Amino acid sequence: MQIIGPDLLVFGVDDVPACHDFLTAYGLEPQGYSPEKGGLYLALDGTGLEIRRRDDPSLPPALKTGSMLRLQVLGVVDQAALEAVAAELGRDRLVLHLADGSLRTQDDQGFELAFRVTTRTPLELEAEKINAPYHPGRPVNVVGVTQDMPAKPRTLSHIVLFTPDIDVAVGFYRDRLGFRITDTLTGAGPFLRPQANADHHTHFFIRTPEYMQGIEHLACHMGGPTELMLAGSRMMENGFESFWGPGRHKFGSNWFWYFKSPLGCNVEFDADMDTHDDDWAPREAPMGPEASQAFLMQWRKKWAPGGGPGPKG
């Protein structure tokens, strides 16, 4: 099943202008925004978020838990891949073929899903380059950081869901849609990647009581750790509040920095995630602080030691 991953995540929110403020500060490009109706918020490759009012009649039904996530739109590589999804899921559920060519259905836990031939535009952008002894990554005279360098989310990376039944979630995404389990945090759940995406994960499930079902966080990939640190620092300087990070996860190796948001979930910057193929042997570790990160740091205001206090008087 040639699925790439999330193209678009659709939310029904209570405070559209707050979400606009947050997502533009996060670095997504607003498109067609109005305070009454919401808008699209796009990463550099055209993947991203759609923000609507909670009572917008165009939205699929909300989960009973209050989660603001209303729809995941998953991108597939081509029309044949879309037809393969329709044929597989059409065996046991209603799959709507919409006028725009997309498919609409539900997973086995009531999360609304759409599938479409991906609309993402591949980027001609280099990864962040680092210099190491005997192995320079950047040409001479090229500096590694400037205060005003761009630090924009490049693409939607992954979504993490609170799910009441991990077996049902895995049964759907692995066994029906062909996702691969890359690693598992025992006590929480598995990381999954779809077959047409080498990223360590586009989905991660965390087992929770039913009243918590919904989105835990979403993340966009940055061009490297420096972009992640700059983007997160700019959020902090503008009064946005960190939830967790910056740090570096173990499973996936991605750098992370999570921010609380008016979307009812955390929104993460990530960078430098591992990639895998089917030769990878999944790992397992008990969920907890040790398995969750290689290291964790906390932001502080800029400071410099200088030469100490001058003479008094």
Partner 1 sequence: MVTGVPLTTLADLPDGDSRGFEVEGWRAKVIIVRKGARVFGWRDLCPHYAGGTSMAWRRDAYLNGARTHLACHAHGAWFDIETGVCVQGACLGKRLTRVPLRIDEEGGVHLDRAPREDKA
- Binding-site ranges for partner 1 (CB under 8 A): 13-15, 18, 21-22, 54, 65-68, 162, 208-209, 211-212, 214, 216, 239-241, 243, 259-262, 264-266
Amino acid letter, 4: I
Amino acid letter, 267: V
HEC letters along 103-143: EEEECCCCCEEEEEECCCCCCCCCCCCCCECCECCCCCCCC
Residue 298: CB minimum distance to partner 1, A: 12
Of the two residues 195 and 293, which places its CB atom closer to partner 1 in the complex? 293
Backbone angles phi, psi at 156, to 5 degrees: -65, 130
Of the two residues 21 and 108, which places its CB atom closer to partner 1 in the complex? 21
Cβ contacts of residue 199 below 8 Å, gap of 6+?
Answer: 5, 157, 158, 193, 273, 275
Of the two residues 102 and 242, which places its CB atom closer to partner 1 in the complex? 242
Residue 63: CB minimum distance to partner 1, A: 11
Residue 106: CB minimum distance to partner 1, A: 21
Residue 235: CB minimum distance to partner 1, A: 9
Residue 262: CB minimum distance to partner 1, A: 5
Of the two residues 255 and 259, which places its CB atom closer to partner 1 in the complex? 259
Of the two residues 32 and 289, which places its CB atom closer to partner 1 in the complex? 289
Long-range CB contacts (within 8 A, 24+) of 84-90: 84/1, 84/2, 85/1, 85/3, 85/115, 85/177, 86/115, 88/1, 88/176, 88/177, 89/176
